[in-house]
Amino acid sequence: MLREYADIIGAKDPVYTDPHAAQARGYRDMIAPPTFVAWHGAHPIAPPAMDFHGTGINAGYTCVFRGVVYPGDVLTYSTCLVDMYEKTGRSGTMRFVVRETTVTNQHGDTVAVLRNPFILGW
């Protein structure tokens, strides 16, 4: 899956596709491109308690990468709501939710933290 993802995004660095190249650069095996963690995890736009059944518009993404992902790693995504607010614009009131997702591997190491605001449409 990691090689396929690297191919899809056009990643040219051989550390993403060749174990020997990755080992020559100090990794134990080839590694996933950092954005793999954002592509792989799907999360609901709003928490179930909001009873939200509409659509949403992605309002940005912030990713902090803290570690590498190797083939065979088991990733766990833990998403929580960190903020909710409203803004009034020319078209009326917009409701925002901000989710933060912590991605850990099977050793409990945090490999990334993703922060993602959405504009909700009811």
Q: Please state the pTM of the whole predicted model.
A: 0.81
Q: What is the pLDDT of residue 74?
A: 95
Q: What is the pLDDT of residue 82?
A: 92
Q: What percent of the chain has pLDDT over 90?
A: 53
Distance, in Å, from the CA atom of 65 to the CA atom of 56, rounded to the nearest integer, reads: 25
Question: What's 44-121's CATH class?
Answer: alpha beta
Ranges of each domain in the chain: 1-33, 44-121
Is there a contact between 60 and 117 (Cβ–Cβ < 8 Å)?
yes
Give residue-wise pLDDT tens across range 13-23: 999 999 999 99
* H or E, element range at 64: strand 62-65
Is there a contact between 119 and 95 (Cβ–Cβ < 8 Å)?
yes
The contacts of residue 80 (CB under 8 Å, 6+ apart) are: 99, 100, 101
Q: Is the pLDDT of residue 2 over 70?
A: yes
Give residue 122's pLDDT band: very low, low, confident or very high (50, 70, 90).
Answer: low
Give residue-wise pLDDT tens across range 44-96: 566 666 666 667 788 888 999 999 999 999 999 998 889 988 888 888 888 88
Distance, in Å, from the CA atom of 65 to the CA atom of 105, rounded to the nearest integer, reads: 13
